[in-house]
Amino acid sequence: MSKKFIYKYLNQEELKSISAKIGEIEKTTSGELVIILKEKRGWFEKTKSVSTLAEKEFVSAKIGKTKGATGILIFIIFNAKGFCILGDKKINEKIDQSIWDDIANTIGNSFKQEQYYLGIINGVEQAGKILSTHFPIQPGDVNELSNEVIIK
């Protein structure tokens, strides 16, 4: 499947800006933030919910393998207008799912106005504030997962 679909929603500079924002946030937290963008469900995924697909991506991106169990996934399927934000074990112990749902709603409201970059960057910033507050940077912390936006 071609990844060129992304340019209907975000340009190269915006993708770089999102990755840079993730890097900036991760300097203030021991958490790891991953963004996966997908155009549409695959043939065998048509009956699966966005949250089920997000759970699959969470595992395949190894977000659940971070040292402190402090990874977060922001998963977006553009054609389905679907969003899901998943936190790892330690995050879920401190942060209620309703917080992630609020961030997903923020992203969704921007997407309704076709402001894709704004929606994603706001979602990343909100998630970053939560991570920085509850999971501040620790001495010797290393970046365990890439900050690049993953396009599927």
Domain ranges for the chain: 16-151
- Give the CATH number of domain 16-151; options: 1.10.30.50, 2.60.40.1170, 1.10.3720.10, 3.10.310.50: 3.10.310.50
Q: Round to whole Å and give the CA distance between 23 and 120.
A: 15
How many whole angstroms separate alpha carbon 75 and alpha carbon 83? 6
Q: What is the token pair recorded at 86?
A: 């998943």
Residue 119 to residue 36: CA distance in whole angstroms: 14
**Residue ranges of E strands in the chain:** 32-38, 71-77, 82-87, 150-151
Instruction: Determine the pLDDT at residue 97.
Output: 84
Instruction: Write out the H or E segment, with its range, that includes residue 97.
Output: helix 97-112
Q: What pLDDT, on the 0 to 100 scale, is given for residue 1?
A: 53
Positions of the chain with pLDDT lower than 50, given as ranges = none
The pLDDT of residue 11: 96
Q: How far is CA 100 from the centre of its chain?
A: 10
Q: Confirm whether pTM is higher than 0.75.
A: yes
